[in-house]
């Protein structure tokens, strides 16, 4: 369900919903509104580049009528459109931009774009599309960009992008794609950006990129890909940005990137890689020009000599949060790396001259348990090097003829990365990696989100929610969960030890979620973060952590110190199983009324009494009033029953 909320002083009004069902479309039931003209509600008129019809955020459930035939940009985003008539764009042959984002579409007709020969930019993101008909874009040869993200697509037709020689951008992230057709990109020679993140893709077919020589931005994070080889990338030439983060990669062949020219950023973080094969970054007949390399969150246990040879322009390398316990000599030899992030590993001793590189400016080694650093390990380092580490485990202070700025930091230390403010690509990449950034006059400074928080991917650090969540590392995109039956009674929990046993009356065999664990069966609560009490009142049901009426019972909320409004707010908030719950209504402080037997069980039907709107109880048809004892109009009493009057 998609909901648009309007916040008042003390209440929330739901004004727009998506009823995502395969049923008769609503546009058949009533005449759709007008777009332009004297009765139109859309903004219609010329701009510098387009004749624009802007119907954004109008709560329309049907496409408006009277869209001018000279329209070149049609915006129907943020409505509640349930259906698209196949002839809706027939009378707008010159349209170049169509935006259908944020609606309630579950499908689109095959001929929807049959008359849009000049269409260049198409956006149908954030709908409920489960499939696309073959030939959908057959009559849109000029298409340059398409966004189908945030739908429910499990596949795309093999011919969807057929003969799209001008197409440069395809966005299919946040769907349910499980496999890719080998010929999906066979006639898109100018594609430059392909975004497939947050799907269920298990493999990339060999030859998938054979006809995409200009593709230089490839983003496939958060999938289930287990293997990539040299043949995976056959057909690709240069790659400015490539991300396989949050997949299931366990190994890479040494020639995996052999035919590629990598420059910009490569993200292999949060996989299952155990080693970096020697020669991985040695390209044929040329050097890679990577400046950013992300390898954090893998299962790396050691780094061999010259692991990164060939990365002559590398500036930042992230190796944090692995299991690295050993560094060979000359690990970073053959690179120009300036900033090395090795925190959160298993290093205990530094023996070798692993950091023999005059370009290194900072090495981050905290969150390791380093006991000793040999003199040879510090030789031939940059004399202006800054070395950050925990000192509490050191057996002695290392000595070197070189002047090295060694800084002992505490457990919660958060590093800062400063770079030219015009390097917007680096800033965007770091924000996606759980960093928060600040721009200054000539520079930008980014820091990973501190312990107790996580990055939302848009440059904000959000606190780990009160309940079953904590985070003891920095720069993370998610919070960790407490073990079953434990919770933290505060936000920003930064240690596993913050998780304590859930209170009495709760179910300690499951995750806590956004409360102090869920209640046991037949227990209820009046505070989200306190214990639960057994339900001794036979007239109430406690299935959802709160009390509501059973069939045949009635309670009176007019007695002093009872407050139905406050209780309804508490229940509504308790039903919010996310971090968006309301801090002001986590507790109900007043009395609960007793549930009494109704004189006639069937008169107190209490249908859907677990819902917020029916908590006070509901009478069956024909009954009303106290204990549902009175008869409604046109009903008469026979003993304890109300019967309908003849003729009504």
Structure tokens at 73: 């940009």
Q: What are 544-581's pLDDT values in tens digits? A: 999 999 999 999 999 889 999 999 999 999 999 999 99
Structure tokens at 172: 């299919």
DSSP for residue 11: -
Structure tokens at 98: 């169509």
How do 51-54 and 73-75 pair as beta strands?
Answer: parallel
d(CA 235, CA 188): 12
Domains within the chain, CATH numbers bracketed: 228-409 (3.80.10.10), 414-518 (no CATH), 541-648 (no CATH)
What confidence score (pLDDT) does residue 10 get? 33
How many CB atoms lie under 10 A from the CB of residue 424? 11
> What is the three-state SS of 121-173?
EEECCCCCCCCCCCCCCCCCCCCCEEECCCCCCCCCCCCCCCCCCCCCEEECC
Q: Which of 202, 159, 156 is nearest to 175 (CA)?
A: 156
d(CA 357, CA 282): 19
What CA–CA distances, in Å, run from 455 to 1, 447, 463, 490? 26, 11, 9, 19
d(CA 527, CA 533): 11
Torsion angle (degrees, nearest 10) of CA 595, 599, 605, 611: -20
Torsion angle (degrees, nearest 10) of CA 71, 73, 75, 76: 50
10-residue block means of pLDDT along the chain (648 residues)?
A: 34 45 46 84 94 94 93 96 94 97 96 96 97 96 98 95 97 96 95 97 95 97 96 95 96 92 94 94 82 95 91 93 94 89 93 86 92 83 85 81 79 84 84 89 92 92 96 90 97 96 96 96 96 95 95 93 96 93 95 94 92 93 91 89 87
Cα-flanking dihedrals φ and ψ of residue 627, to 5°?
A: 55, 20
- Residue spans of alpha helices (H) in 437-532: none
CB 249 within 8 A of CB 268: yes
pTM of the complete model: 0.80
CB 163 within 8 A of CB 139: no
How many CB atoms lie under 10 A from the CB of residue 168? 18
Structure tokens at 461: 């650090």
Instruction: Tell me which residue has tokens 């197409």.
Output: 167
What confidence score (pLDDT) does residue 623 get? 94
Give the N- to C-terminal CA distance of the chain in Å, as an integer.
38
How do 145-147 and 121-123 pair as beta strands?
Answer: parallel
d(CA 600, CA 584): 39
How would you label 600-618 residue by residue, b for 16+ Cβ within 10 Å and e otherwise? beebbbbeebbebeebbbb
Q: Which of 91, 18, 23 is nearest to 61 (CA)?
A: 18
d(CA 239, CA 215): 7
Instruction: Tell me which residue has tokens 């259908």.
Output: 100
DSSP result, 418-444: EEETT-HHHHHHHHHTTEEEEE-SSEE
């Amino acid at each position: 369900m998609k909901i648009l909320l309007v916040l008042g002083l003390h209440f929330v009004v739901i004004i727009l919903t998506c009823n995502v069902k395969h049923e008769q479309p609503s546009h058949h039931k009533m005449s759709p509104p007008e777009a332009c003209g004297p009765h139109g509600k859309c903004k219609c008129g010329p701009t510098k580049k387009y004749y624009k019809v802007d119907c954004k955020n109008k709560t329309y459930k049907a496409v408006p009528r009277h869209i001018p035939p000279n329209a070149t940009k049609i915006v129907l985003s943020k409505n509640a459109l349930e259906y698209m008539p196949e002839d809706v764009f027939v009378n707008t042959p010159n349209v170049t931009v169509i935006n259908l984002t944020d609606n309630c579409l579950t499908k689109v007709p095959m001929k929807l774009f049959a008359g849009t020969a000049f269409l260049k930019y198409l956006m149908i993101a954030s709908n409920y599309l489960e499939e696309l008909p073959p030939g959908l874009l057959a009559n849109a040869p000029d298409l340059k960009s398409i966004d189908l993200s945030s739908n429910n697509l499990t596949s795309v037709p093999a011919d969807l992008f057929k003969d799209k020689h001008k197409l440069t951008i395809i966005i299919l992230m946040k769907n349910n794609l499980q496999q890719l057709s080998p010929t999906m990109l066979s006639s898109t020679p100018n594609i430059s950006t392909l975004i497939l993140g947050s799907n269920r893709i298990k493999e990339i077919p060999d030859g998938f990129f054979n006809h995409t020589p200009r593709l230089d931005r490839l983003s496939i994070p958060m999938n289930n890909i287990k293997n990539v080889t040299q043949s995976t990338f056959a057909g690709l030439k240069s790659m400015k940005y490539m991300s396989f983060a949050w997949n299931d990669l366990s190994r890479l062949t040494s020639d995996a990137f052999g035919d590629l020219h990598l420059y910009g950023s490569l993200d292999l973080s949060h996989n299952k890689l155990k080693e970096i094969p020697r020669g991985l970054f040695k390209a044929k007949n040329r050097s890679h020009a990577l400046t950013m390399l992300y390898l954090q969150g893998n299962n790396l246990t050691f780094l061999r000599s010259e692991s990164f040879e060939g990365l002559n322009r590398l500036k930042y390398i992230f190796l944090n949060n692995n299991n690295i316990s050993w560094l060979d000599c000359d690990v970073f030899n053959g690179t120009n790396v300036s900033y090395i992030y090795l925190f959160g590993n298993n290093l205990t001793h530094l023996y070798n001259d692993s950091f023999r590189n005059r370009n290194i400016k900072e090495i981050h080694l905290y969150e390791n348990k380093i006991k000793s650093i040999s003199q040879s390990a510090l030789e031939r380092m940059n004399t202006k090097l800054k070395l950050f580490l925990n000192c509490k485990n050191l057996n002695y202070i290392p000595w070197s003829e070189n002047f090295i700025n060694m800084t002992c930091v505490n457990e919660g230390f958060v590093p800062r990365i400063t770079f030219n403010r015009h390097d917007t690509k680096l800033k965007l990449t770091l924000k996606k990696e759980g960093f928060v950034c600040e721009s200054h006059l000539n520079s930008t400074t980014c820091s990973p989100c501190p312990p107790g928080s996580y990055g939302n991917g848009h440059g904000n650090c959000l606190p780990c929610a009160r309940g079953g969540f904590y985070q003891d590392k920095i720069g993370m995109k998610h919070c960790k969960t407490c073990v079953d039956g434990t919770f933290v009674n505060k936000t920003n929990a930064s240690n596993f030890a913050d998780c304590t046993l859930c209170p009495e009356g709760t179910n300690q065999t499951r995750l806590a979620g956004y409360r102090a664990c869920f209640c046991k069966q037949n227990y209820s609560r009046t505070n989200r973060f306190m214990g639960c009490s057994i339900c001794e009142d036979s007239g109430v049901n406690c299935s959802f952590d709160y009390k509501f009426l059973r069939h045949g019972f009635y309670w009176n909320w007019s007695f002093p110190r009872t407050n139905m409004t406050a209780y309804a707010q508490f229940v509504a908030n308790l039903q919010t199983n996310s971090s968006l719950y309301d801090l002001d209504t986590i507790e109900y402080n007043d009395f609960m009324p007793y549930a009494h037997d109704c004189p006639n069980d069937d008169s107190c039907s209490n249908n859907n009494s677990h819902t917020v709107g029916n908590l006070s109880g509901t009478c069956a048809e024909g009954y009303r009033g106290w204990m549902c004892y009175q008869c409604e109009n046109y009903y008469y009493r026979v003993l304890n029953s109300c019967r309908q009057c003849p003729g009504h």
